[in-house]
């Protein structure tokens, strides 16, 4: 009973604290359980590159991006938080962390980042193979999800391009089994 009394407030906090946020628009092309193929609309990404291990770099990269969207180091209005936060390996010890900008913005209407650590990138329409997974998204979790995704992609006869991208949708206080994480990889054709 005591464990339930401790766990219940945490569950309520996790459920109540997550207000809905905008996510990138896509059309579902194929679905098979946790595996999907999605055609994404064009987006703009604010991104920064940081060094270190996968788990720690996610939090380090979040800071400059949050400063950008919340207008802490620049003039102008705040930009609404969106989901997911993305993470992609650039080298064996560096990661690019990204926030998708809300759909109503263009490169001309977004405020310029004040810090050289944040850049805005236009991402054209693209198709991604996606695998959903839960957990803390430790490096082990990420490696396992990536391996499973690549097996699903191979079984489906799909051709990929580039490196996998990890996507994290929940605030850090969300319980691991309730977290929505994804690993995705671009497909060579937008068919």
Residue 14: what pLDDT? 42
> Residue 76 — left, alpha, or beta (φ > 0 → left; ψ -120 to 50 → alpha)?
left
| Residue 99 near residue 69 (C-beta atoms within 8 A) | yes
Percent over 70 (pLDDT), the chain: 89
Q: Does domain 43-123 have CATH number 3.20.80.10?
A: yes
Residue 68: what pLDDT? 96
Alpha-carbon distance of 169 to 83, in angstroms, equals: 5
User: Over the chain, what is the mean pLDDT?
Assistant: 89
State the average pLDDT over residues 14-41. 86
* CATH T-level assignment (fold) for domain 23-42+124-191: Phosphorylase Kinase; domain 1 (3.30.200)
Task: Estimate the crossing angle of helix 139-155 against helix 54-69, to 10 degrees.
Answer: 90
Return the domain boundaries, the chain.
23-42+124-191, 43-123
* Omega cis (within 30) before 84: yes
Q: Is the pLDDT of residue 13 over 80?
A: no
Alpha-carbon distance of 20 to 124, in angstroms, equals: 25
State the average pLDDT over residues 120-129. 97
pLDDT band at 189 (very low <50, low <70, confident <90, very high): confident
pLDDT band at 19 (very low <50, low <70, confident <90, very high): low
Q: Which residue has the higher pLDDT, 190 or 159?
A: 159
Cβ neighbours of 16 (radius 10 Å): 8
Least confident of 9-18, 34-43, 54-63, 146-155: 9-18
Residue 190: what pLDDT? 53
Q: What is the pLDDT of residues 74-116, one digit of tens each?
A: 988 999 999 999 999 998 789 999 999 999 999 999 999 998 8
State the average pLDDT over residues 36-50. 97
Alpha-carbon distance of 172 to 22, in angstroms, equals: 18
State the average pLDDT over residues 163-179. 94
Residue 92: what pLDDT? 79
């Amino acid at each position: 009973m005591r464990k339930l009394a401790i766990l219940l407030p945490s569950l309520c906090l996790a459920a109540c604290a997550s207000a809905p946020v905008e996510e990138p628009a896509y059309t579902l092309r194929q679905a098979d359980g946790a595996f999907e193929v999605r055609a994404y609309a064009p987006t703009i990404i604010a991104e920064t590159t940081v060094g270190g291990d996968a788990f720690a770099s996610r939090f380090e990269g979040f800071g400059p991006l949050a400063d950008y969207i919340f207008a802490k180091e620049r003039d102008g209005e705040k930009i609404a938080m969106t989901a997911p936060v993305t993470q992609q390996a650039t080298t064996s010890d560096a990661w690019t962390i990204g926030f998708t900008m809300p759909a109503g913005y263009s490169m001309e209407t977004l405020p310029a980042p004040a810090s050289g650590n944040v850049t805005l990138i236009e991402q054209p329409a693209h198709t991604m193979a996606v695998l959903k997974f839960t957990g803390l998204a430790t490096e082990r979790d990420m490696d396992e999800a990536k391996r499973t995704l690549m097996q699903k992609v191979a079984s489906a006869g799909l051709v990929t391009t580039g490196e996998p991208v990890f996507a994290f949708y929940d605030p850090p206080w969300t319980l691991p089994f309730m977290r929505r994480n994804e690993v995705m990889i671009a497909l060579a054709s937008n068919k």
